[in-house]
Amino acid sequence: MLKFLLICTLAVASRAEVGEEEDVLVLKKSNIEEALKAHPDILVEFYAPWCGHCKALGPEFAKAAGMLKAEGSAVRLGKVDATEETELAQEYGVRGYPTIKFFKGGEKESPKEYSAGRQADDIVAWLKKRTGPAVANLVGVTEAESLIADSEVAVIGFFKDADSDGAMAYEKAAETTDDIPFAFTSDDAVFAKFEVTKDSVVLFKKFDEGRNTFDGELTKENLLAFVKTNQLPLVIEFTEQTAPKIFGGEIKSHILMFLPKTASDFQDKMDQFKKAAEGFKGQILFIFIDSDVDDNQRILEFFGLKKEECPAIRLITLEDEMTKYKPENDAITAEAIIGFCKLFIDGKLKAHLMSQDIPEDWDKTPVKILVGKNFEEIAFHPSKNVFIEFYAPWCGHCKQLTPIWETLGEKYKDSDDIIVAKMDSTANEIDSVKVHSFPTLKFFPAGDERKVIDYNGERTLEGFTKFLESGGKEGGAPAGDDDDDLDAEDGDDVDEGQDTDSDGEDDGHDEL
């Protein structure tokens, strides 16, 4: 009997306990299976204690966990310290922080990537769409009012016949939208309460005009376009929480207003910016960036701006290549901004390429200093072989490379046909060369063909020397062939709001 009791005691003790912090399950390799047995649906954040993006997400993640718990939902939120649980992080391919994955139905294999925003409402809405029906059925005014009150954005389909073509198209649109709750009603009282007299779709929101009514042919495509056009505020502030919505949305043309919130005329300029935004819904996303916030300084630097130069307006396209535009008129008025946007839409704007002034001593040191204004003349000189490091002042890998690059410059300072150079790509831009990560090393061989060869070899004096002596063959690849190098694993991913390099590996690049 004693032996039996001992075995039972050990069996109970061997069950890994699942602790909680602020309604969030604390998960480890030793207890994740136990957690999934008790809670089949868990949204899990893999984080690092030092990660700024994780710290910003933490309160919203805990708030979402509390909201679900208060509702009596079976869905739970969990977190894994990936710096401690390295095996678990590796098992699920965690390569940056935070990484958020959804485990559904108790299945430990192949969890789904979380794809919505990082505010509590976004998290809750996404989970409800993943675990419940795509369209909730509303019975009575109270249910409709509760949905609207509890959601930053909610969509309600008003249809007398749930089997009508319009209602079916509405359901299909709902099935492909993760981050917004969709509901359906045929209740006459709900129709009357919201003054809807015929089959219609209404988007309710807690900002701007408060509601938008769909007007057009009820098709899945038209409804999705309607929702995407109206689900964001006319002007959205850039923060850690809104970054996924901004960069993950369908609108890839963004106009940015850099302005300190402490400015005496802040509200006036915001009103002008918002007024201009009204005519470009669905075409251009209007974004406000507080230029006094420390976390936003890298963005200012990316646009060649300093805090003292704000307020300022810039426009950027986030297509295959990011292209920036600068207005000729610095005035922040609705009229000036509207005119600038119309020129952009009509294709009448030229890209704005940043350049520093040419330093007086640019060619006095072994490593020549290039800027936008002298790049073409030097890099594409027909009788020179030019090896250039494109760097960022803040890049750790660039700093590590500096002594080697300076030694290389010293080695070839008296060469008749080889030039070793460098260019600060945070302050200078070249139309013919796109730099996505730092340091980027490119070779411009002599001749009239304007060839560009990417350097993919070892970052050693020996490797660089072999490359130059071989005419760019030893360790080189034609420009555009090294796309894998652009997936930097240890820099900051500005677009996604993620700190990278979860596993200690290092590809030697810092992202732009």
Q: Which amino acids are annotated catalytic?
A: 51, 54, 395, 398
Contact 316/324 with Cβ under 8 angstroms?
yes
Contact 389/398 with Cβ under 8 angstroms?
yes
Written as one letter, the residue type at 353 is L
SS3 of 341-360 = HHHHHCCCCCCCCCCCCCCC
CA angle 293, 298, 301 (to 5 degrees): 110
Contact 108/36 with Cβ under 8 angstroms?
yes
Question: Which residues, 6+ apart, have CB-to-CB distance to 203 below 8 Å?
Answer: 153, 154, 155, 211, 212, 213, 214, 226, 227, 230, 231
CA angle 323, 324, 329 (to 5 degrees): 150
Nearest to 472 by CA among 463, 482, 480, 481: 463
Contact 255/287 with Cβ under 8 angstroms?
yes
Scored b (16 or more CB within 10 A) or e, 310-333 reads bbbbbbbbbeeebbbbbbeeeebe
Dihedral sign, CA of 47, 49, 53, 59? positive
Nearest to 418 by CA among 373, 375, 462, 383: 383
Q: What is the DSSP string of 366-392?
A: SSEEE-HHHHHHHHT-TT-EEEEEEE-
Question: Which residues, 6+ apart, have CB-to-CB distance to 331 below 8 Å?
Answer: none
Q: What is the DSSP string of 247-288?
A: HHSS--EEEEEE--TT-TTHHHHHHHHHHHHGGGTTT-EEEE
Dihedral sign, CA of 66, 67, 73, 74? negative
Q: Give the Cβ contact number of residue 384 at 10 Å.
A: 17
